[in-house]
Structure 1
Amino acid sequence: MCHFFINCLVSWFSKKQNSISLSTAEAEYIATGNCCTQLLWMKHTLKDFGAIFNCVPIRYGNTSAINPTKNPVLQSRTKHIDIKHHFIRDFVCKKKICVEFLCTNDQLADILLNLCL
């Protein structure tokens, strides 16, 4: 994940997940939740400096990971995911975070990951 503030890269993160996922969509959904925690921390830190943000966008390239964030109804495909990973739904419903689709060719996090390998 890459975090930008006013078109400047301020944070990037790549980590092997601690949990076992049954599908790529589940792994991506968990990664989206991790991204959300980092963004919320940055949002609250910037609030101390007077910067107020209404809806912070998370741009993601997997629609299978985006759809569960927008639908608060527990589906059979997501019922086995730990409840701690579903908190992103609350922030999407409150319009504190908005998850948007980003084309695979435009994802900078993938480029940074390839540089590290």
Structure 2
Amino acid sequence: QLQRTVAASSVEAEYQATAAAVREALWLRKLAGDFDLCSDTIGIWMDSQGALSLGNNPITSVRSKHIDVQHHLVRERVARGEVALSYCSTEDMVADILTKALGEIKFKKFRNGMGVMA
């Protein structure tokens, strides 16, 4: 999915993508709640330590001042305990199978990690 705003850095781009994922996850949690299904804290796994730091740190620094307020929804939801951001190394990021060209070994590892069998 294309981002609606231009990011000044890769960290900012990852943070914008995290904000979009949080918005989507909150909507899905609300939908699940409408059906009396589980609505616990949402776990978001990410491989960008910079974006993770931005989301978990409630203090805006000079370096992150320019980031649009709409993306700080992440910080707000983390502070409320609705979302938990966690680090996942690139080597273990199963979602990469959906976004990157992978070698055969990594492809099979991630495919199996998703529970998809050939």
TM over 0.5: yes
1:1-117 equivalences under 5 Å are: 15-114=1-100
The answer on whether the counterparts of 2:7 and 2:13 sit within 8 Å (CA) in structure 1 is yes
| Runs of 5+ unmatched residues, structure 2 | 102-118
Find the residue that maps to 2:45 and give its secondary structure: strand
Write the distance in 2 (CA, Å) between the matches of 1:71 and 1:108: 26
Instruction: Please report the TM-score for the alignment, with normalisation by the length of structure 2.
Output: 0.80
The answer on whether the counterparts of 2:55 and 2:78 sit within 8 Å (CA) in structure 1 is yes
Instruction: Please report the TM-score for the alignment, with normalisation by the length of structure 1.
Output: 0.81
Write the distance in 1 (CA, Å) between the matches of 2:30 and 2:2: 26
Write the distance in 2 (CA, Å) between the matches of 1:23 and 1:30: 11
Write the distance in 1 (CA, Å) between the matches of 2:57 and 2:85: 12
Larger helix proportion of the pair: 2
What is the root-mean-square deviation in Å for CA atoms of aligned residues? 1.2
Of structures 1 and 2, the larger Rg is shown by: 2
Write the distance in 2 (CA, Å) between the matches of 1:18 and 1:87: 16
Larger strand proportion of the pair: 1
4+ residue stretches of structure 1 with deviation over 2 A?
none
Find the residue that maps to 1:65 and give its secondary structure: helix
In structure 2, the partner of 1:5 is none
| Runs of 5+ unmatched residues, structure 1 | 1-14
The answer on whether the counterparts of 2:30 and 2:39 sit within 8 Å (CA) in structure 1 is no
Stretch of structure 1 that moved more, 106-115 or 89-98: 106-115
Write the distance in 2 (CA, Å) between the matches of 1:92 and 1:69: 7
Write the distance in 2 (CA, Å) between the matches of 1:114 and 1:30: 19
| Deviations 1:49-86 (CA, angstroms, capped at 9, x unpaired) | 11132211000001100011111111111110110110
Aligned length: 101
Structure number with the bigger relative contact order (C-alpha 8 A, sep ≥ 6) is 1
